[in-house]
Amino acid sequence: MFGLTEMMELSVSSDYLIEGYQQAIVPTVLLPLAFLGTALSLIATFVAGLFGIKLKAEGARKLLELLLKPKIILFAVGLNLLIYAGFLGFNHIKNGPVPRVVQKLANQETEYYQKARQGVMALWEQSLQDEGIFARGTVVGDELFFGTSEGHLYVADANTGNIKNRLFLGKFLTPSPTLYKGHLYFGEGLHQSHSMGIYKFDPESKQVVSRFETNGHTEIFPVFASHEGVDYLLQTAGEDGLYAVDPNTMSKIWQFKGGHMDGFALVVGEHVYIGTGIPREGFSLRRPFAFKLNLKDGSVVWKRELPLSAWYGPMRVEDNVCFIQGEIHIDTNVGGISCMTETGERTHSLVINYPVVGKPIVKDEVIYLNDFFGNLYAWDAINNELKWEVESEIKQGSYSSVQFYNGKEIIYAKRTGGVLIVDMDSGRVREEVDFVQDELIYADPLVIEDAFYLFGMKGSIFKSTKI
């Protein structure tokens, strides 16, 4: 493509310019008015043609002379600023929180009944009519709590699947609700969201007790810890960093900003481990890091650069802390796990061909994980040995994570609507069952003692006995 300078040079050097031709530059602020003027001129020419009237050719020249008058230019500048401000204001409101007063008005009546149906491959199936469920629900007593892409928090009978309550909170309820001391805590929002909150919810009264507001998005579940008589709720908020909040009063204890943080925190004793990721807009400007912080005040114990982004939280394997690695905002063919000692010394690393964007689980010294394209792995993090790998046939992005199924097996929800049951020692796939054909599954399976639940991005929920 030619730039403006090259186009001007070509025009000046051309032998075919019309005699009397003069170059002119129209200020870009006039473009909206120029487009409007051109459109009106076309319409006027068309209408005049219907009546056999021919408009004079100098009309366009007079229009240009009019547009170049100082008053018109100033008006055009103001109009452009107004349009731009309106665009920014619209996006700010669209990506911001729903006012609490709106939520209260919408939730004056929260009872909502919808019967589940008997499943073909499951005990029962429930459908929420295209309200996507990105994260698995949480069972409290005999009730199942989960959020949707339409900003609803649903309460269902965990045994029958019948919906009992629906609350409107207004933003994408991205993470799973987390139960702590009798209350459920959960965040909201997506990457572009701002001023998202952490909700404290009473599962008995079915009402929001309190909300702590951040300046970012709270799209991962919170982590809880207690030290020296103080309770801590640790919540990442994107560019707004990591918050430590008192879950009893929902007041801030401290805040740490060290980069873009979307993953959950890991608490070991009196310390917190957290990693950062690089969003698309900062890829050529930033590097990802791992941090060890003091739980009491958020001060930095050490900081280490990571090879790749850590979009989910770290895990502990014996005396090592391991960070998942992988980029999701650009196309790459590398990912893995990077481990360090508690003093920040680098130990073993796993390098694979795809980014790791999930929540690995640990048993003894072995980490069980999946990558962004559905391949499964078992890696001995102490002896640096890849024990087995199960290759996926899908090779498309997935956000689900492996879960413990029983003492000997793990379960993984496939992107395409089914599950794999895999032996932890050998990697042998014992069962592969499809529950739905035309619905993506990004949520982790929710495993209970004798059954498991699946949640789909078109609003389907399945409860199945263990296979």
The pLDDT of residue 149: 96
Q: How far lies 351's CA from each of 82, 175, 337, 355, 389, in Å?
A: 51, 28, 7, 9, 13
What strands, in cross-sheet order, belong to the sheet with 138-140? Answer: 111-114, 163-168, 152-157, 143-147, 138-140
The pLDDT of residue 369: 97
Least confident of 34-43, 167-176, 186-195: 34-43
The pLDDT of residue 129: 86
Beta bridge mates, 146: 154
Token digits of residue 323:
């960070």
Q: What is the pLDDT of residues 281-301, one digit of tens each?
A: 877 788 999 999 999 999 999
Q: Is the pLDDT of residue 306 over 70?
A: yes
Give the closest residue to 173 by CA, choosing from 139, 206, 198, 195. Answer: 198
d(CA 26, CA 437): 56
pTM for the structure as a whole: 0.85
The pLDDT of residue 48: 52
DSSP H or E run through 37? helix 31-50
Angle of helix 59-67 relative to helix 31-50, nearest 10 degrees, comes to 160
User: Who has greater pLDDT, 370 or 41?
Assistant: 370
Q: Quick check: 466 and 450 in contact, CB under 8 A? A: yes
User: Mean pLDDT, to the nearest integer, of 112-123?
Assistant: 93
The pLDDT of residue 2: 36
Token digits of residue 130:
């295209």
User: How do beta strands 409-413 and 320-326 pair?
Assistant: unpaired
Q: Could you tell me how far CA 230 lies from the centroid of its own chain?
A: 30
Least confident of 39-53, 312-326, 334-348, 433-447: 39-53
Q: How far lies 316's CA from each of 155, 360, 363, in Å?
A: 33, 10, 10
Residue holding tokens 């698995």? 136
Q: Is the pLDDT of residue 147 over 80?
A: yes
Q: How far lies 466's CA from each of 185, 299, 420, 445, 451, in Å?
A: 28, 45, 12, 12, 5
The pLDDT of residue 19: 44
Domain spans in the chain, listed from the N-terminal domain onward: 26-94
The pLDDT of residue 11: 41
Beta bridge mates, 461: 126, 455
d(CA 344, CA 367): 20
The pLDDT of residue 46: 59
d(CA 72, CA 86): 21
Q: What is the mean pLDDT of the chain?
A: 89
What confidence category does residue 76 fall into, taking pLDDT thresholds of 50, 70 and 90?
confident
Residue 301, number of CB atoms within 10 A of its CB: 15
